[in-house]
Chain A
C-alpha cells in the first residue's frame, strides 16, 4: 500500500454564467514512503491545485467541487472533518510553498513561527521549543541559528527564508512533504542548495516528497517517479530514467525538446511547443494536447485517449505515442496500438479513465458543460 494514493482527483470551479473550469480532471498517482514523486507540467496544468486539494487548502467558496480520493495511510484526506485535517497538517503532511518571502509572516520573528508548529503538534513550550527550533534551523543549514531565531523574515536572504520554511515544514517529521515549486523564486545557485537540502532530508528521514515543478532539471536531479500533467490530467507516468531516455507522450517529448542544452550547437534555436496552454481541447472531445501536437492523427479528436499501461510499468495517455528508439516504427505500432497486447501488460480497456466509483465516496458529479 502506497503512503499516498491519489485516485481520480478532480477539482472544478464553477460560477454562475461562466464556463466551469476543470482545474484538475481525474488525476491519479501514488507516492510510496521515502519516494520522490514529481508532478510536472507548464503553468495552468493543475499542479498547484492538485497539491492544495490534497492538503484541503483550497479556499472554501461556492462553486468549488473536489472529487475523487486522496488516501493517506488509510484515511481519505478529502473526507476528513476540519479538526482532524488540521491535526494531520504539519504533523503528518506538510507543505513548502513557492514564495518564501510572502509565506513567512513579516511582523513575527522566525523563531516564533517555528516554535508555533512545535507548540501545536509536539506540545513544546518556552526554552525547550526554542532549543528545538534552533536545532531545526541548524539542520536545514542556517548558520548561527540562535541569532536567526530573533530575526524577521525581511532580514534573511531568499535562500535562508526558504530554509526556514523547510524547517517549519519538517519540524514534526512529517511522513509526506509536498513542495510546490520550492525553488522558483530563488536564483540558480540557491536552487541547487535547496534541492540538495531537500534530498538530504528525504534520504535521512524517509519522508516521501511530492515535488511540483515545471523545471525538468529539478525532476532529473530529484524525482524517482514522474507524473506529467497536461490540462488537469496525467498524460504520462514513468520512472525518471525511462522518461528522460524514451518519452512516449508527445507532450513529454516536447517538454524535453524545449530544454536548452549545453551541447547544442551555436545559434541553434530552442524548440518550443507550439501554441500555449490555453489552446486546449476539452478532454471529453478528445486529447487536450491535440491542437498543439506534432504527432496528431485523426483518432486524437472525438474520444478522450485512454491511459495506456505499457509493459514496463509506465503509462501514457496517447493514441499515437512517440516511438521507442531501438524499435522500428512498425514494431512499435504493433506493440502499442491499438490494444497494447504486450505479454504481462494489462489491456488498455482494463484501465478505464474513470475507476469504478465507491458508493458514498464516489467522485463528485462532474459538470461537463453542454453547448
Chain B
C-alpha cells in the first residue's frame, strides 16, 4: 500500500515537474504555428512526401540496383530501332532509349532535382529578400530618401516582372550557356521579384504597426527597429512562399532541361532531362514520359501541401 502511494506520489511529482518545465519557456509564434501544423493532415501528407523525396535523394544513389549510366539494354541487344523493352522482373520500370535502367535513373535523378530546387530557391530568396528588405525598410522607415530608394529598387523589380518568367529563365540560361549552375541561377532569378515584393509589402505594413510606433517612442534606432521588429514579423509569408517556390523551381528546372538548356552532362540523370528525352519515344514507350512527370508532380505536390499548410498555420486570419 505504502509502496504504491509512494510510486503514485513520485509519478505526480514527475508530471508536475514536466508541466512546470514546459511553462518556463515561452511559446513563440513559430512554436505555436508548428503545433498547429502538426494537427493539419495536409501538412502531414506533404511532410511525408518530402521526407521520402529527401531520403531517396540522399541515400537513393547508394541503393539502386543498376548504375544509372550503364547501357545494359544496348549491351544485351534489347534496344532496336522502334523497340524499347518494357517492364521485366529485374528492371521495374523498364529501360530508357539508351537501354539504361529507368528505375535507377529515376531514383538517382531525385538528388539532382532536389539540388536544383533548393539551390535556385535559395538564390531567389537571398537576392529577393535582400532587395525587398532594403526597399521595405527604406519605404517604411526611411522618410523621403527612403521612398526614393524604394522606388528605384521596385521599378527594377517591376521590369523583371514584366517578362514572362519562363522567357526570362530561358534568356538567362541562353546567355550563360547550358550548365547546371545556369539552371539554378536562371530559375533563382525568376523567383527574385516574388520574394522582393512580398517582403517589401509585408515590411511596409508592419512598419505602420503600433509596436513600431511604441519602439520609436522609446528612442530605439531605425536600423534596430527594422532588423529586430519589422523583419521578424514580416518573414512568415516569405517562408511560405519559399516552400511554394520550391515546387515551381523544380518544374521550371525541368522545363529548362526539357528545352535543352539544362545540364549538358547527361550522365547525371535529372527528371527534366528524362522527360525531354522521353518525348521522342512517346509513341513507343509512353511510360518513359510518365514516370519522371509523376515524380515531379508528386514532389511539387508535397512542397505545395506543406507550403499551404504553413501559410494557414502562420496566418491567424486563415485559421478556422
Contacts and interface: CB of A to CB of B under 8 A. Distances in A.
Given A108-B228, A108-B229, A117 B213 contact: no
B220 A117 contact: yes
A86 B222 CA distance: 9
Contacts of B215: 105, 113, 116
B16 interface: no
B248 interface: no
Contacts of A91: 219
A43 to B, nearest CB: 17
Contact of A117 (B30, B208, B218): B218
Interface in A167-193: 168-169, 171
A174 to B, nearest CB: 10
Contacts of B229: 105, 108
A152 to B, nearest CB: 5
Contacts of B213: 57, 97, 103
A67 interface: no
A169 B214 CA distance: 9
Interface in A193-217: none
B317 interface: no
A104 to B, nearest CB: 6
A354 interface: no
A95 B213 CA distance: 10
Nearest to B229: A105
A104 B211 contact: yes
A275 B224 CA distance: 46
B244 to A, nearest CB: 22
A107 B28 contact: yes
B283 interface: no
A120 B219 contact: yes
B217 A120 contact: no
A116 B220 contact: yes
Given A97-B210, A99-B210, A152-B29, A108 B232 contact: yes
A55 B215 CA distance: 12
B233 interface: yes
B264 to A, nearest CB: 46
A86 B211 contact: no
Interface string A288-311: 000000000000000000000000
Given A88-B219, A105-B229, A97 B29 contact: no
Contact of B214 (A59, A97, A154, A171): A97
B216 interface: yes
A34 interface: no
B24 interface: yes
A155 B214 contact: no
Contact of B25 (A89, A150, A165): A150
A112 B221 CA distance: 15
A156 to B, nearest CB: 10
A60 B143 contact: yes
B10 interface: no
Given A108-B228, A109-B26, A103 B220 contact: no
A121 B25 CA distance: 28
Given A97-B214, A102-B209, A107 B220 contact: no
B217 A116 contact: no
Contact of B218 (A112, A152, A154, A168): A168
Q: Which of B27, B209, B211, B220 has the most CB of A within 10 A?
A: B211
B119 to A, nearest CB: 28
Nearest to B221: A86
Secondary structure class of chain B's binding surface, majority of residues? helix
A53 to B, nearest CB: 13
Interface in A112-127: 112-113, 116-117, 120-121
A245 interface: no
A90 B218 contact: yes
A127 to B, nearest CB: 18
A269 interface: no
Contacts of A103: 210-211, 213-214
A116 B224 contact: yes
Contacts of A278: none
A353 interface: no
Interface string B62-94: 000000000000000000000000000000000
Contacts of A57: 213, 216-217
B52 to A, nearest CB: 32
A91 B221 CA distance: 13
A87 interface: yes
A147 interface: yes
Q: Which of B26, B29, B220 has the most CB of A within 10 A?
A: B26
Contacts of B208: 59
A151 interface: yes
B217 A55 contact: yes
B227 to A, nearest CB: 11
Interface string B15-33: 0000000011111111000
Contacts of A105: 211, 215, 229, 232-233
Contact of A90 (B26, B217, B228, B233): B217
B29 A89 contact: no
Contacts of B214: 95, 97, 103-104, 165, 168
B211 A169 contact: no
Contacts of A6: none
A312 to B, nearest CB: 36
Contact of B228 (A86, A116, A165): A116
Given A106-B29, A155-B26, 12 more contacts: A86-B219, A89-B216, A89-B218, A90-B217, A90-B219, A90-B220, A102-B209, A103-B210, A108-B228, A109-B26, A147-B23, A169-B218
21 contacts: A89-B217, A89-B218, A90-B220, A102-B209, A104-B214, A105-B229, A106-B29, A106-B211, A107-B28, A107-B29, A107-B233, A109-B28, A116-B228, A117-B218, A117-B219, A120-B220, A121-B219, A150-B25, A150-B26, A152-B27, A154-B29
Interface of A: 55, 57, 59-60, 86-91, 94-95, 97, 99, 102-109, 112-113, 116-117, 120-121, 147, 150-152, 154-155, 165, 168-169, 171
